[in-house]
Amino acid sequence: MDIRFAEVVKVLENVEATTQRTVMARLLAGLLRKTPPQVVDKVVYFLLGDLRPPWEGLELGVGEKLAIRAIARAYGVPASRVEDAYRRVGDLGEAARRAASEARKKGATGILSFVQAEARHLTMGRVYEVLYRVATASGEGAQDLKVSLLSSLFADASPEEAKYIARFVVGKMRIGIADMTLLDALSDAFNVDREALEKAYHVYPDIGRIARSIAESGEEGLKGISVTPGVPVQPMLAQRLSTASEILGKLDRKAWCEYKYDGERAQIHKVGDRVKVFSRRLEDITGAYPDVVSYVRDSLAADTAIVEGEIVAYDPSTGDFLPFQELMHRKRKHNVEEAMREYPVKLILFDMLYLDGRTLTDLPLLDRKAMLASVLNENDNVRHADWGIFVDEEKLDVFFYEALSEGCEGVICKSLAGGSVYEMGARGWLWIKYKRDYRSEMGDTVDLVVVGGFHGRGKRAGLYGAFLLAAYDPSTDSFYTVCKVGSGFTDEDLVRMYQMLEPLRIDHRHPRVVSKMEPHVWFVPELVIEVVGAEITLSPLHTCCMGSVKPGVGLAIRFPRFTGRYRTDKRPEQATTVGELLDMYARQKRVKAAE
Ligand code: AMP
């Protein structure tokens, strides 16, 4: 049982043409409904532009050059022709489509006969299998094998099919189907409760596997899904408040408070001697941190465990912590050994989710802390986060300023209640972050998604001069604009932004973006950047929280400025939410009134 690849492609074309999120979800649901359960996982992975869940780290290992060679070989044209077309249109998919259709017209055959190909309709199963073989080809001759596998796939494909295969191969689908969109579609297609689906997804973020389970056994299929060492769970997130008194008010007047370290969040899985480090967006970042791997081996007296913490860069000559940017320098270096020496790190742990066969996520905070303490041998490289329990606002404030003077961003206050479980994937009130004061200045930064670009002029000609930014609304899985930002970018930043956004360029507003402004160029919502502004104001131009404060107006950030910080560690769905901006606005108003 299989589905014709042409059917998948037809839906992708329709999805690409729509600007309505509801239409997008309906199209996807329709496709999933008619896909046989045996291949539903493959369809789902393909829609997401992957072969396996991203945390498995399986890569095709095919760069543009190789892909161009495969296309050229399949259609019997010189690689330079394909390359030229690609440079002209900026989309390898379109270049492949053109090459395929010209070859068809000419009746040229490349290495395989098109007549034969017509008879041999591609199925999703076949496409997946070939791509999987491409990804797993290794050792001597792997490159050639990859090219010949791909070129046979292209030779069998219709022009439209070739377009999506090419885009998939170079990792630039330009569709912006996100996990949440697919969960909606799955819930609709298989009549499974949306919340149950999301819960399963937080515990085991593999939409392919979830799709397959429910396609085969309906909601029952979700029962077998549980926390599994080796498989990252969606991290718990924190709400934010700006005064110690509000925080203690929310947390029953007693809070466990910890320094908020300015590094990279790490979810670390240890299974015997094997250690894996996952980022906040659940990518396998083990390769970048061999030192962290050995720290964990040396300091955790557990056979199987999942712990969470922050990897922080420090200056070995003073022992002082360094900001997140330093860590990013390290990650950009190719030579890991050298990077490790130049930018040493410490591991600061703050939670434990699994220990030797037992899932701990349903335990209250203090029990999890106790379990962590029972197996952690602290040393110079690994230790628990600095903490204190506070009932008194002034003492909490002193702790907060101490954290700032230690190079931390502030503190995170955690609930000590009986129900203080580890809420996977949730941004609830069990954890509250306390950063700088809001006052009337917008002291805190926000992480926003780039959804549009405006052409630059003068020195910025040929690049983008400004960007349209949006906040995320989890209840509609959409992005709402909140400012246009042009300041804070160095010349280097502008070039980098251009390069990062190029593969995300689309010719109309993305269906998950809600905007009244019309930028010159639209992007698939993917890239997150950090921004700070003077304050949050009301504006009729932006759609963020439209009508929440006053009819017909939304929220906007006044005088926004890029902080220089690319939040590539965040998925767009982890950007600042519209709800957070509304809270910030309300708080700012209260502070102003008090003054
Ligand atoms: P934010 O990224 O501003 O939403 O703040 C939450 C982040 O703070 C988490 O994702 C962690 O990466 C980081 N963090 C630093 N220290 C701690 C801590 N002690 N407990 C929890 N999160 C922490």
Please provide the average confidence, as pLDDT, over all residues in the chain. Answer: 92
Average pLDDT of span 174-191: 92
**CA atoms of 591 and 595, how far apart (whole Å):** 6
Is 238 a pocket residue for ligand 1 (Cβ < 6 Å)? yes
Kindly list the domain boundaries of the chain, sorted by start residue: 50-169, 237-434, 446-594
Is the separation of the CB atoms in 162 and 41 below 8 Å? no
Q: Where does 237-434 sit in CATH, by number?
A: 3.30.470.30
Is 310 a pocket residue for ligand 1 (Cβ < 6 Å)? yes
Domain 50-169, what architecture? Answer: Orthogonal Bundle (1.10)
pLDDT over 60 (residue 25): yes
| 364-374 tens-digit pLDDT | 999 999 999 99
Q: Which atom of ligand 1 is nearest to the CA of 280?
A: 10
Q: Which of 350, 352, 412 to mutate to test the pocket of ligand 1 (most atoms within 8 A of CB)?
A: 412
CB atoms inside a 10 Å sphere around CB 199: 16
pLDDT at 383: 97
**CA atoms of 391 and 525, how far apart (whole Å):** 42
pLDDT over 70 (residue 517): yes
pLDDT at 120: 66
pLDDT at 438: 41
| 285-327 tens-digit pLDDT | 999 999 999 999 999 999 999 999 999 999 887 788 888 888 8
Is 566 a pocket residue for ligand 1 (Cβ < 6 Å)? no
Say if strands 478-485 and 513-514 run parallel, antiparallel, or are unpaired.
Answer: parallel
CB atoms inside a 10 Å sphere around CB 281: 21
pLDDT at 553: 85
65 catalytic residue (yes or no): no
> Where do we find the tokens 């199987």?
304
H/E stretch holding 212: helix 207-217
Cα of 227 from ligand 1 centre, angstroms? 21
Inter-CA distances, 476 with 179, 356, 514, 578, Å: 13, 39, 10, 11
Instruction: List the catalytic residue out of 163, 172, 260, 484.
Output: 260
Is 256 a pocket residue for ligand 1 (Cβ < 6 Å)? no
Degrees to nearest 5, angle at CA 161 with 132 and 109: 95
Is 351 a pocket residue for ligand 1 (Cβ < 6 Å)? no
Cα 318 versus chain centre, distance: 34
Q: For 256, what's the count of Cα atoms within 13 Å in the CB-facing half-sphere?
A: 17
Classify residue 169 as exposed, middle or buried by CB count within 10 Å of its CB (0-12, 13-18, 19+).
Answer: buried
Name the more confident of 497 and 541. 497
Q: Which of 433, 444, 570, 573 to mutate to test the pocket of ligand 1 (most atoms within 8 A of CB)?
A: 433
Where residue 440 falls among pLDDT bands split at 50, 70, 90?
very low
Domain 446-594, what architecture? Answer: Beta Barrel (2.40)
Is 261 a pocket residue for ligand 1 (Cβ < 6 Å)? yes
In b/e form, how buried is each residue of 561-574, taking b as 16+ CB within 10 angstroms? bbeebbbbbbbbbb
| 376-431 tens-digit pLDDT | 999 999 999 999 999 999 999 889 988 887 878 899 999 999 999 999 999 999 99
In b/e form, how buried is each residue of 111-134, taking b as 16+ CB within 10 angstroms? ebebeebeeeebbbbbbbebbbeb
